Amino acid sequence: MNKLFQDLNDTQQEAVKHIDGPLLILAGAGSGKTKTLTSRLAYLIGEVGIDPANTLTLTFTNKAALEMRERALKLIDNKTSYPPLLCTFHKFGLLFLKFHIEKLGRKNNFVIIDTDDKKRLLRTIAKELKIDLSASFVASEISKYKNSLLSPEIILEKAQLPDYQKVAQIYEAYQKNIVENNLVDFDDLLMLSYEILDQNPILRKEISQRYAYIMVDEYQDTNELQFKLLSHLASEHQNLCVVGDDDQSIYGWRGANIRNILDFAQIFSKTKTIKLETNYRSTKAILDAANTLIEHNSSRLGKKLVSHKGEGGEIKVIHSIDETHEAKTIAGEIKALLAKGINPKEIAVLYRINALSRSLEEGFTKERLGFKLIGGMRFYERSEIKDIISYLRVIANPHDDFSLLRIINKPKRGIGKSSIEKLQKMAFEAHSSIFDIHNKIEPKIIQDTIGKKAYTSFMQLVQDISTLQDESKAGHLSSLINIFEEKVKLKEYYQSLPDGYERILNIDEFYGYFRESVLLNPDLLLEEFLNDISLQSEQDQLEEDTIAIMSIHAAKGLEFEYLYVIGLEEEFFPLLGDDCNLEEERRLGYVAITRAKSHLNLCYADSRFYKGKRKIMEKSRFLGESSLIQNSSLKITKSTAFKKGDLVKHKIFGIGRIQSISSAGKEYKLLINFGGNKKEILSSFVQAV
C-alpha cells in the first residue's frame, strides 16, 4: 500500500483522494484532521502532480502551519525544490500586499504596527480629540469594523450612541494617520488584500488561477472577512477544501461566524461533504456524553463520534459543598495519581470563567502541588486584582509610594504624567511620601506646581484613602470593601473595557474572598490579609512537567488522560444572559468533554462567590443533557432534528424550506417558506422530506 494511505481509515482516504470541486471535511474531535489535511496536500503534489506553487493552505497559527508543512513534506517521496505555501491568513495577506499594495496608491515599504503600537497611537489621537475612552476598547471596536469591511465614513454615519460616535471620530483620524505614514495594522493585512482583489477583476482572476487548490484548517473559526477573501481566491475554480467542526465553533465572541461552515454546501454548489467520525482519543463513555450533549443544538450539520479505543471507565461526577471543598477534593485526587506515578503532564483542570482559578490556585498551593496556568495569568497577577491589592496596601501603609503610583490614575483622575513627576520631586525634596506631601508643603504651592485640576483630584484621592484608613483602623473590615467600591468605583472603570465582564467577575471574586476571610476571622487585620495573599501569589519555580490549569478556550486542540472540568453550574457553565449564546456554550461543553482521553471528572458545587456574594448554585443543565445526572429539577433544553435550510413537509401547507429556528416552550418554532407563503409552525407538526 502507498505509504500515504497506510495510516488512514476509509473516510480519511476518501477525503485525501478528492481532487476537484469544493470539499467540506467535517472532522470531529480527535478524528485525525491534521493527518487528513497534510496527506491530501502530499497527495496533490506527490501523486497527482500538482505544482506546489499552485497550492495554498491556510491556518490560524504559525505553529500549526509549521507542523503541517513538515508533516506534508515527509509524505512526499520526491522532495520538491520549493515547499508549498502553507501559512496563516495574515502571513498570506502580508505576502500579497508586498506585491500589490501599490494598486491602492500606497508604497510596498509599509511597516506593520503591533497591538501596543496601535494602542499608543490611539491614545495620542484620543488625547488630541479630547476624548476619554479606553484604548483597548477603541482598538477592539476598530478591529471589529475592519473585519466587517466597515469604513470610518460608514461608522460616522451610522453610530448613534455617544461612545460609538467618539470611536468613529478616533477611527477616522487613526486611519488617516496610518495611511499618511504608510503603516499597516494586523487587520489591514486581510482587509486591504480583499479590497485589492475586489477592485481588480483581472488580478483576482490571475491570483485565483495561480492558487488552483486551496485548503483551510479550522474553517469553523473563520470570520466574515476571511470568508469573503476565500471566495475571491477560489472564484475561478471552486477547488476549496475546508476542514473543521461546527460542533467546536467557540469563538463567536471574537467574530468567528459559524454560518461559514454550516452554509458551506449551499454557498459552494456541488460540494462533497465527508464526515470524519472515528475518534482516536477518547473512550466510548466519554464520547457518548459528548454526542448526547451536542445533539441538543439545532444549528449543526450533524455527526456522531465513534471511539476507536473502546468502552473505558465511567465518567465521574464530583459534587462539592463550595469552591474550597472542590479544590481540596481535586488536589487530593491528583496527589494520589502522582503517588501512583502518573505523569503530571497528563492531568489538567478546566474552567469556563477565569475567576474560578483563584480557589484552585490556593488549594493547589496549600497542598504543595506544582501547576501552571495556561493561556492566561494567575488570579493575583491580573491587573484589576493588582489594582485592588495596591489600594489596600496604601490603606494599610499610606507611605507605600510604589502602590500609590499604580493606582493614582485608576480610575482616571486627570493627574497627568508631568504632574506625577512633580509630585514625586516635591516629595523627595521634602523627605515625604507622596500621600503625605500635603502635610509637609503648603497646599497653594502644590496647586501652583501641578495645576488646580490635578491638585483637586489628588486631594480627593487622599481624602478617600483617609476615610478607608479610618474604617480599617476601627476594625470595620467587614464594611471596608463596600465603602471602597462606593468611593473608588473600580468596577465602573473596568466595565467599559472589551473584556470588562470577565474583569468584573474577577473583582467580585476578590471582594467575596475578602468578605469571607473577615467572616471566618472577625479579628483579621488588613496587614495579615495582604501578607496571606503575598504567600498565595508567590509560587516556587516550577519544572516543566506540571499540572495544567486553564480555560476551556485555551484547552482547544489539547488532550489529557485525567481531566477535571469545574464550575458546572447554571450561570457559570453555561453562562446565561442576553449576550450569551447557549448553543456556543454547549459547543464549549463538547470541547471540554472531548479533551479527555480516559478519565473524565465533571465537578459542580452547591455554592460559590457570584458577583461578590456567596450564592446557592443550581447544577448545570449540561449534566442532564449529557445523561450523567437524572434529576427532574435540571433544565434540559429540548433538541430538534431540524436546521436552517432543511426541506420539511406539513400536512396542510405541503413542502417548505426552514428559514429560522427559535425556542418555544418545550419544543421549537420553525419559520418555514412554503413557496412564498411564510408560516411559523411548531416543529412537532412537520416532518423532514
User: Which residues are known catalytic residues?
Assistant: 33-34, 217-218, 248, 595
Please give, one letter per residue, the 3-state secondary structure of 256-312.
CCCHHHHCHHHHCCCCEEEEECEECCCCHHHHHHHHHHHCCCCCCCCCCCEECCCCC
Distance CA(600)–CA(349), nearest Å, equals: 10
The grid coordinates of residue 663 equal 425556542
Work out the angle at residue 58's Cα, subtended by the Cα atoms of residues 56 and 59, and round it to the nearest 5 degrees.
155
Contact indicator for 371, 364 with CB cutoff of 8 Å: yes
Task: Report strand pairing: 677-682 vs 667-674.
Answer: antiparallel
The conformation of residue 569, written as its DSSP 8-state character, comes to B
The grid coordinates of residue 53 equal 506553487
- Read off the amino acid at residue 626: S
Instruction: Give 327-344 as a DSSP string.
Output: HHHHHHHHHHHHHTT--G
Residues 6+ apart with CB under 8 A from 272: 18, 21, 22, 23, 24
Nearest to 301 by CA among 219, 194, 182: 219
Contact indicator for 285, 312 with CB cutoff of 8 Å: yes
Instruction: Give 371-427 as a DSSP string.
Output: EEEESS--GGGSHHHHHHHHHHHHHH-TT-HHHHHHHTTSS--S--HHHHHHHHHHH
- Integer angstrom CA distances of residue 667 from 472, 678, 681: 55, 19, 11
Omega into 574 within 30° of 0, i.e. cis? yes
| Strands (E) located in 66-152 | 85-88, 111-112
Distance CA(625)–CA(539), nearest Å, equals: 39
Omega into 498 within 30° of 0, i.e. cis? no
